[in-house]
């Protein structure tokens, strides 16, 4: 991506930040050509911002425009309306039980230490621990190719030359849950969450990468009310109400 920086008033959810710096693109990555959205609202730390630009949520915090230095996300089930981004708020109507807090291991993206990934009580990936970012901007759960291949093999998936792993749609009901352990807490997602069904096939929501860093994207986040706490530098996860 190439472009330049500009300033303007940026309003999100009724909260306005004057003289907010942002990027104006002149060329973009190919995937952005088909985006419905007009842009990307970056909510990670300033440490990874282009030209040390102050992100919009940092300005909201610095200017006292939010009541708490947190934002939270509820992603509705696939195909349904009602996903919500709450700035400065934690809404208890979206979750039940406790919020489980995971400390950040790096204040760049929302990076945490993941203990393991398991199926039926057996560790199938991230053995001995690994690093992961909780990222609403990524659709899939992404991990090192070897780990993802092992997960997909456990699911009985067939992987094509492009890395897409498919399963028989008739097997979804009998496929196992997958458990992610973070800060000794277990977070389990069912097959109905990690399998996407189209008119012709059923794909797993796991993608391989040459990077050692895992990305817990929307396939994971959709199962939990997710809180990004900038005051304590934690990520909170709670069961959906």
Q: 2 — phi, psi (to 5°)?
A: -130, 160
Single pTM value for the model: 0.94
> For each of the chain's 241 residues, which pLDDT tens digit applies?
899 999 999 999 999 999 999 999 999 888 888 888 888 999 999 999 989 999 999 999 999 999 999 999 999 986 678 999 999 999 999 999 999 999 999 999 999 999 999 999 999 999 999 999 999 999 999 999 999 999 999 999 999 888 889 999 999 999 999 999 999 999 999 999 999 998 888 999 999 999 999 999 999 999 999 999 999 999 999 999 9
Q: Which residue has the tokens 């067939």?
A: 158
- Residue 78 has a pLDDT of 61
Domain over 70-240 is classified CATH 2.40.70.10 = yes
- Residue 176 has a pLDDT of 98
What is the distance between the alpha carbons of residues 227 and 85, in angstroms, rounded to a whole number?
10
Q: Which of 152, 58, 44, 159 is nearest to 106 (CA)?
A: 44
Token pair for 181: 């352990």
- Residue 179 has a pLDDT of 99
Quickly count: other Cβ atoms within 10 Å of residue 67's Cβ: 9
Q: 141 — phi, psi (to 5°)?
A: -95, 120
- Residue 29 has a pLDDT of 85
- Cα dist from 146 to 90, 119, 159, 179, 220, whole Å: 37, 16, 12, 18, 19
- Residue 12 has a pLDDT of 96
**Contacts of residue 64, Cβ cutoff 8 Å, sequence gap at least 6:** none
- Cα dist from 228 to 57, 60, 102, 208, whole Å: 11, 14, 10, 26
Token pair for 82: 């009602």
- In the chain, domain spans: 1-65, 70-240
Q: 1-65 falls under which CATH superfamily?
A: Acid Proteases (2.40.70.10)
- Residue 173 has a pLDDT of 93
Residues 56, 10 contacting (CB under 8 angstroms): yes
Cα R_g (the chain), whole angstroms: 19
């Amino acid at each position: 991506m190439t472009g330049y920086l500009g300033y303007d008033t940026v309003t999100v959810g009724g909260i306005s930040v004057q003289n907010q710096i942002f990027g104006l693109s002149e060329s973009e990555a190919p995937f952005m050509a088909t985006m419905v959205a007009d842009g990307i609202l970056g909510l990670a730390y300033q440490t990874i911002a282009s030209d040390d630009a102050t992100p919009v949520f940092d300005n909201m915090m610095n200017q006292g425009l939010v009541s708490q230095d947190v934002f939270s996300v509820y992603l509705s089930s696939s195909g349904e309306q009602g996903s919500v981004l709450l700035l400065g708020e934690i809404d208890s109507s979206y979750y039940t039980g406790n919020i489980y807090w995971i400390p950040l291991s790096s204040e760049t993206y929302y990076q945490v230490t993941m203990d393991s990934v398991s199926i039926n009580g057996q560790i199938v990936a991230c053995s001995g621990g690994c690093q992961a970012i909780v990222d609403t901007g990524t659709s899939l759960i992404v991990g090192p190719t070897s780990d993802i291949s092992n997960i997909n093999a456990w699911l009985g998936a067939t992987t094509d030359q492009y890395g897409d792993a498919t399963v028989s749609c008739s097997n979804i009901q009998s496929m196992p849950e997958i458990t992610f352990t973070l800060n000794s807490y277990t977070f389990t997602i069912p097959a109905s969450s990690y399998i996407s069904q189209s008119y012709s096939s059923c794909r797993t929501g796991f993608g391989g990468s040459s990077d050692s860093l895992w990305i817990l994207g929307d396939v994971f986040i959709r199962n939990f009310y997710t809180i990004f706490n900038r005051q304590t530098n934690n990520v909170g996860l709670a069961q959906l109400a």
